[in-house]
Amino acid sequence: MATTLVHADEPTLHHVRYTVGASQLLAEIYHRDMHPVTFADYSHDPYVHSPIVQADVGPGKPWVLETSLTNAEY
């Protein structure tokens, strides 16, 4: 009798690109660059999973962040 090992599929990563632009603005931008273990973790304290960055954006200088998330919905 042969034994077959079964493992969970690796989660699919979704490419996410955040782009913020304006004519001139000093922006405080909350973004996600990590995936919380559960939605409950995110819902309980979204700021832990959404770091803030201060960005000086203007014509020709948008703020851009590219990341990969397993769930880009929240």
Q: Scanning the structure block, which residue is given the tokens 């599929």? A: 9
pLDDT in tens, 29-73: 888 877 777 888 878 888 887 889 999 999 999 999 998 888 766
CB 16 within 8 A of CB 71: no
pLDDT at residue number 26? 85
pLDDT at residue number 54? 92
> What does the block give as tokens for 31?
């973004």
Instruction: pLDDT band for 3, please (50, 70, 90 cuts).
Output: low
CA proximity to 49, closest of 57, 58, 40: 40
